[in-house]
A and B are shown apart, each in its own frame.
Chain A
Amino acid sequence: MNLKRRKASRAIAALLLFSVLQVGLQISFAEPSSTNTAPVVQQQIVARLTTRNNQSITINGQSASSGASVLTGATIETGADQFATVNVGPLGSVDIYPNTKVVISFEQGSLKATVLNGCVKLTAKKNTTGEIATEQASLGKTDPATGGVLEMCNRPGAPPEVGPGVAGAGAPAAAAAGTAGGLFGIGWPATIAIIAAGTGAGLTPLFFPADVTNPSPATP
């Protein structure tokens, strides 16, 4: 009797094991195909765009504003009154002035701005070779031992200009803090404007009294 029971138990255990294996196999066959797995992307430097007053400019023809990512080889274009900075973290940064089209390329140890049209200011940090160029030729490089700043303008119909201050000459002036007297130091014209606006708003009902008759019927 005992022997019979033991045999039966063994048979049941073997059957159970077989069933579990079957289920396991089925599940493994049902796994999603490998094409759905995310590809492995090589780590690389990704720059950050900042635009003045959060205006939109274009990167590779697509609209972008502050906080957008810039990859190497990107073509960046600014319109009139648009100013942008591409911050390439450990390598440096490129200031892009209005009406400029520039290709920004970077990799470990080098940062290059190829100016197709307009003005840029490239700041290379130490251990980085900064370079400014047109499509035809390289116009200047920084010394990686010290880093440095390069400025250039490439305007149609004129030879490219390189040197300190050439890019900034056409740049919009930085916002200045108002400190010129008046109420709370906000300036006299502003003070007068604010008081006039406030007074005007307050007195408007006196000169233009509201129509007290209610045109709406008492019942719907």
Chain B
Amino acid sequence: MNLRHTPVARVAFALLAIAVCLLLMREAARIGFSRLLTRYALVSNSLPAADQALQLTPTDPDAHRARATVLKRLGRTAEAQTSLQFATGLRPHDNRLWLELGDTRDELGDNEGALAAMNQAVRWAPYYAKPRWQRGNLLLRIGRYNEAFADLRYAATRNRKLIPTLIDLAWGLTGDAQATEGLLQISNDNDRLTFARFLAAKGKGVDVDNQVRLLTTPLSDENKQELSRLLMAKRDFSTAYRLWAGVQSVERVVNGGFEQPLLLNGSPLGWVVAHPQTEPKFAIDVSEKVGGEKSLQVTFDGEWDASSPSLSQTVVVRPGQRYRLNFAVETKDLVTGGPPRIVLTDATNDQILARSDTFPRDTNSWRQMAVEFTAPADALVIRLTRENCTSAPCPIFGLLWLDEFSLEKL
């Protein structure tokens, strides 16, 4: 007779199964409730909830970690460290726990302890960026620069977003392009271009030039434009121009006859119209011209704030050289208390170098004008501007044509 088929055995088996189920249910409830409490503790910074979760599942590293997080938020960093030590003991292969422990020890000023924990984090996640980055930062603070940059460089190869910060740190420590490059150990064009961009934003034209020369592929127009703009923002005009167009752009007015469009595809060279939508209005005119096929027509229709920029061009010059700026003007029905004129300023400090005569009301035909000046240190700005009126408002009406701007050495 089979024992399994006896009623007693069946009941016993059923009772045993129920007991096992109840036991499993109890365990599931305990773990589930602990997780619920852990989440609640993190959301509400509740230490009692974190403690209770831990009481329910004392061998759960996540419960210890949650308790540590809450303790850190409450400013009880030393206790947080203890919780994280338990957590790492329970799950010793988890790089995140080691990293958090390292970070907490670092916060407590325990550099050696922090480094030991971060070494473990790197050990269990040797190809991840974060453990290397965090350890690199710690090594940097304790003055082990070569080891620090080895880690930081590695992290930046795994996560490209870290490269600008890496460059910033290297620059901050050395303040010198060559030494920074030595720390960065640049080995590809992308990183070199990022470094060149960083240097351009600092206005280090010579260093930008050096980096651009080391590129294995020629600089694209887009990158040239970006670097030039960054350098111009730092008022390093000569490098910006050299980078953009080579030496031929020096000592000459680009598009002086207005034969090309006013905005040269965002180039830092050539004429710039500050606010095309505001007064006055600029247009290329094919009917009125002195030379070539076109001239620039400027229409004044009332408002033009004397202080607001309008038409301008930056020209790189040789310091101390005497020059004459020649240009042609034609006006028609120009009515205003503050007539327009051309003003030359030092691009570096906006100091006025020279001004043309104010433009007359009606010239009837083209009139040649000239302004002589001594070149400033780097570059000058040719700007169309107007005189202030003696009283407000100060409207301006009429038409103006400009053509054939050229720079002549004296």
Contact = CB atoms under 8 A, between A and B. Distances in A.
Interface of A: 35-39, 41, 43-44, 46-48, 50, 52-53, 59-60, 62-64, 66-69, 71-74, 87, 89, 174-179, 184-187, 190, 194, 197-198
B385 interface: no
Contacts of A197: 36
Contacts of A89: 109, 141
Interface in B116-173: 134, 137-138, 140-141, 143, 145-146, 149, 161, 164-165, 168-169, 172-173
A53 B172 contact: no
B222 to A, nearest CB: 21
B317 interface: no
B140 A46 contact: yes
B228 interface: no
A174 B165 CA distance: 30
A184 B168 contact: no
Contacts of A50: 107
Contact of B75 (A41, A62, A68, A174): A174
B183 interface: yes
Given A38-B146, A67-B103, A179 B172 contact: no
A64 B134 CA distance: 11
Given A184-B48, A186-B48, A39 B183 contact: yes
B174 A41 contact: yes
B149 A38 contact: yes
A38 B109 CA distance: 28
B195 to A, nearest CB: 14
Nearest to A190: B40
Which applies to chain B's interface (DSSP): helix, strand, loop or mixed?
helix
A39 B179 contact: yes
Nearest to B149: A38
B269 interface: no
Contacts of B107: 48, 50, 66, 87
Contact of B48 (A35, A39, A177, A198): A177
B73 A69 contact: no
24 contacts: A35-B182, A39-B182, A50-B107, A62-B164, A64-B165, A67-B106, A67-B137, A67-B138, A71-B169, A72-B172, A73-B172, A87-B107, A174-B75, A175-B45, A177-B47, A177-B48, A177-B70, A178-B48, A184-B37, A184-B51, A190-B44, A194-B37, A197-B36, A198-B36
Contacts of A39: 174, 178-179, 182-183
Contact of A184 (B52, B103, B161): B52
The size bracket of the interface on B is 35 or more
A187 to B, nearest CB: 7
B21 interface: no
Contacts, number: 108
Interface string B85-113: 00000000000000000010011010000
Interface of B: 33, 36-37, 40, 44-49, 51-52, 70, 73-75, 103, 106-107, 109, 134, 137-138, 140-141, 143, 145-146, 149, 161, 164-165, 168-169, 172-174, 178-179, 182-183, 185
B36 A74 contact: no
B100 to A, nearest CB: 10
The 5 closest A-B pairs by CB, nearest first: A71-B172, A178-B46, A39-B182, A184-B52, A185-B48
Contacts of A72: 172
A51 B63 CA distance: 23
Nearest to A186: B49
B159 to A, nearest CB: 12
B137 A184 contact: no
Given A38-B149, A46-B141, A176 B45 contact: yes
A63 B168 CA distance: 12
Contacts of A69: 137, 140-141, 169
A41 B145 contact: yes
B69 to A, nearest CB: 9
B92 to A, nearest CB: 21
A46 B52 CA distance: 40
Contact of A43 (B143, B172, B174): B143
B103 A190 contact: no
Contact of B183 (A38, A174, A187): A38
